[in-house]
Amino acid sequence: MIILTIPEFIGRFHPILVHLPIGILLLGCLFQLLTLNAKFVFLKPAIPMICLLGALAAIFSCASGYLLSASGDYDGNLVDLHFWMGISVSVISLLLYLMYWKAVKEIFLNVTSAALIILITLTGHYGGSLTHGSDYMTAALKGEASKVAIPPVPDVQKAIAYTHLVQPLLQNRCYSCHGSEKQKGKLRMDNISFMLKGGEDGASLIPGRANESDLIKRMLLPISNDDHMPPKEKPQLTAEEIAMLQWWINEGATADKKVSDLKQPAEIKPILLSFQTGAVLAKKTVAADIPEEEVEKADAAAIEKLKKVGVVVIPVLSNSNYLSASFVTAKADPAVLKLLEALNKQLIWLNLASASITDQTMGNIVKLQNLRKINLSHTAITDQGLTLLKDLKKLQVINLVGSKVTALGIIAPLTGLKELQHLYLYQTGVEQKDQAKLKAAFKKVSLDFGNYTLPFLAQDTTVVK
C-alpha cells in the first residue's frame, strides 16, 4: 500500500495540469502571430488576458511539477532540464503579458511569441520523455521489435545467460521505468549490481534464491495486485520467461557464465530451447488442421442439394471456403454421396458415423482429395472399402470404430498416408494379437484400440455409513 503525503498527492496532478498552460499559451502566441496579417488584428485585445491566464497556469504547473519531482522516481538530469524550462515558460509568458501593457514594439512581441512556442514544445517533449521514456516516440518507427522480449539466439547453450537471455528480457520489459532515465521506486535494473542494491523495498535480486527475490515475487503476484510487476497495462512476461529468470537467479545470477556452464535441471531444458532460433520452426511442421492455401468457394447449388437431404454442410470457420459435412441426420445414399464430389476441393472433414455407407458406395468419396478427417465409425465398411482410402493422402484422422476392418486390411492402404496422426480401431475386426503388428506398421500414428474396462471395486457399490 502506497500512502501519499499531501504534497505528493498534489504532485500527481502535474501531468494533467500541464496541459492548461500548453494550450492557453500556444493559443496566445498563435493569436499574436496571426495579427501579422491585417485580417486578424481584431484578435489583439484578447491576447493580454490569454497570456495572463497562461502564465498563472504555468506557475501552478511548475509548483505541482516540483512536488512530483520531489518523489525522486525520475532521471535527475532530465528532471532538472524540464524544471528550468518550465520556469522559463512561466517567466517569459508573464513577461509577454507585461510587454502588452508597456506597449512595446510589435516585432518584440512576435519574436517573444515565436520563442515561447518553441520553448513550450521542448518543455512538453521533455516532460513526455520523463513519463513515457525517451524512446516512446521513436519506438513506433523502430517497428515491432519490442514484441519479442528475447531475440532468438542461434545456439542457446553457447549463449551467455545474462547478456543474451536475461538482459534483453529486462531491457524490453523493465528498463523503461527502472533504467538510466527513470528509477521508479528508486530502483535501477540495467545492471546486476543495481539490482542487488535494489530500491525502496530492498534488494530486487538475491542470487541463489529466486523465489525470495523481489524481482520474481512481484512477477508471480496476481496481475490484479498493485505490487505486481510489470504493471498490468504493460506487456507481461510469459511463464517460460519467468522460469528462465528463476533458473538464472538460482544458478547464482552470474554476469558472464555461458548457459552450458550452468546446471540445467530437466524442466528448464525445453524452456531454454524455446529461446533458440528454429524452436518455433520445429513446432510448425506439425500438420495444420486446415490447409494453408486458399481455395475458391464451393458450388452453392451442390451445398443446397445436400442440405435438402439433411446433410450438415458448413464452413469449418466463418469466412473460410473449406467445408465440413456431417451425416448425423442424413442417409448416405449413393446419390447423396455423389453430390459430395462437387465439393472435392473444399471438403476437409467428413462425418459418416452410423451413416449407411457401404463398400460399394465408398467409391463416391475417393475423389475428396483434401479430406483431413473422416469418421466411418459404426458403418458396414470392410477391408475392401478401406482400400479406397489409400489415395486420400491428406488424411490425418480416421475413425473406424465399430466397423468390420481387420489389421491386414488397415496396413496395406493406410501405411502410405504420410500425414496420418490418429487411427481409432475400437470394436473393429482387429484382434488382440494383431495390435503389435499395427503398432510396428504405424510408428508415428497414435492408435487407439479401445476396449477400456474399469475394475470392479468394492467401494463402487458400497455406501459409507
Partner 1 sequence: MTRDELNAYRLVKEANEIQAAAYTRRHFLKESAMGLGALAMGALFGSCNFGGTKGNNPVLYDAAHPLLPKSPPFLGKAKSVIYLHMAGAPSQLELFDFKPELMKMNGQDCPPSLLAGKKFAFITGVPKMLGPQANFAQHGQSRAWVSDNMPHFSTMTDDVSFLKAVSTDQFNHAPAQLLMHTGSARLGRPSIGSWVTYGLGTENQNLPGFVVLTSGGSFPDAGKSIWGSGFLPSVYQGVQCRSEGDPVLFIKDPHGMSRDLRKASIDAINASNLEEYATYNDPEIQSRVAQYEMAYRMQISAPEVMNINNEPQYIHDMYGTQPGKACFANNVLLARKLVEKGVRFVQLFDWGWDAHGDGPANSLNIGLKNKCRSTDKPITALLLDLKQRGMLEDTLVVWGGEFGRTPMMENRNGIQNPYNGRDHHTEAFTMWMAGGGIKKGYTHGETDEIGYSAVSGKVDAFDIQATILNQLGFDHEQFTFPFQGRPFRLTDVAGKVIRDIVA
Q: Is 397 in the site for partner 1 (CB under 8 A)?
A: yes
Q: How far is the CB of 340 from partner 1 (least distance, A)?
A: 17
Cell of 186: 528508486
Nearer to partner 1, 8 or 448 (CB): 448
Q: Is 138 in the site for partner 1 (CB under 8 A)?
A: no
Residues β-bridged to residue 52: none
Q: How far is the CB of 464 from partner 1 (least distance, A)?
A: 5
Q: How far is the CB of 243 from partner 1 (least distance, A)?
A: 11
Report the residue from 142, 433, 444, 465 that binds partner 1 according to the rule CB under 8 A.
Answer: 465
Report the residue from 233, 267, 296, 460 that binds partner 1 according to the rule CB under 8 A.
Answer: 460
Q: In this structure, is the dihedral angle defined by the CA atoms of residues 137, 142, 144 and 148, taken in order, positive or negative?
A: negative
Q: Is 147 in the site for partner 1 (CB under 8 A)?
A: no
Cell of 106: 510589435
Report the residue from 118, 137, 314, 412 that binds partner 1 according to the rule CB under 8 A.
Answer: 314
Backbone angles phi, psi at 347, to 5 degrees: -75, 120
- CA-nearest of 73, 80, 76 to 178 is 73
Q: How far is the CB of 413 from partner 1 (least distance, A)?
A: 19
Q: Is 148 in the site for partner 1 (CB under 8 A)?
A: no
Q: Is 459 in the site for partner 1 (CB under 8 A)?
A: yes
Nearer to partner 1, 1 or 463 (CB): 463
Number of residues that bind partner 1 (CB under 8 A): 42
Nearer to partner 1, 144 or 460 (CB): 460
Q: Is 454 in the site for partner 1 (CB under 8 A)?
A: yes
Contact mark string toward partner 1, 57..86, x via CB under 8 A: ------------------------------
d(CA 57, CA 27): 13
Report the residue from 190, 289, 359, 391 that binds partner 1 according to the rule CB under 8 A.
Answer: 289
DSSP H helices, 185-262, are 192-197, 214-220, 239-250
Q: Is 432 in the site for partner 1 (CB under 8 A)?
A: no
Q: Is 309 in the site for partner 1 (CB under 8 A)?
A: no
d(CA 290, CA 197): 53
Q: Is 239 in the site for partner 1 (CB under 8 A)?
A: yes
Contact mark string toward partner 1, 203..222, x via CB under 8 A: -----------------x-x
Nearer to partner 1, 156 or 311 (CB): 311
Q: How far is the CB of 191 from partner 1 (least distance, A)?
A: 28
Q: Is 462 in the site for partner 1 (CB under 8 A)?
A: yes
Q: Is 419 in the site for partner 1 (CB under 8 A)?
A: no
Q: In this structure, is the dihedral angle defined by the CA atoms of residues 129, 134, 140 and 144, taken in order, positive or negative?
A: negative
The stretch near partner 1 (CB under 8 A) out of 71-79, 171-179, 181-189, 323-331 is 323-331
Q: How far is the CB of 287 from partner 1 (least distance, A)?
A: 13
Q: Is 442 in the site for partner 1 (CB under 8 A)?
A: no
- CA-nearest of 410, 331, 316 to 370 is 316
d(CA 77, CA 74): 9
Sequence-distant (6+) residues with CB within 8 A of 372 are 289, 290, 348, 349, 394, 395, 396, 397, 419
Q: Is 452 in the site for partner 1 (CB under 8 A)?
A: yes
The stretch near partner 1 (CB under 8 A) out of 72-80, 159-167, 200-208, 397-405 is 397-405
Q: Is 450 in the site for partner 1 (CB under 8 A)?
A: yes
Report the residue from 326, 346, 370, 428 that binds partner 1 according to the rule CB under 8 A.
Answer: 326
Q: Is 316 in the site for partner 1 (CB under 8 A)?
A: yes
Sequence-distant (6+) residues with CB within 8 A of 278 are 152
d(CA 223, CA 358): 57
Sequence-distant (6+) residues with CB within 8 A of 21 are 54, 55, 57, 58, 61, 89, 90, 93, 120
Please, are residues 344 and 367 in contact by the beta-carbon 8 Å criterion? yes
The residue with cell 496476481 is 222
Nearer to partner 1, 6 or 463 (CB): 463
Residues β-bridged to residue 293: none
Is 82 buried (19+), middle (13-18) or exposed (0-12) by CB count in 10 A? buried
Backbone angles phi, psi at 397, to 5 degrees: -130, 125
The residue with cell 528448464 is 268
d(CA 118, CA 85): 11
Residues found near partner 1 in the complex (CB under 8 A): 220, 222, 239, 289-290, 312, 314-320, 326, 328-329, 353, 375, 377, 397, 399, 401, 422, 424, 426, 448-457, 459-465
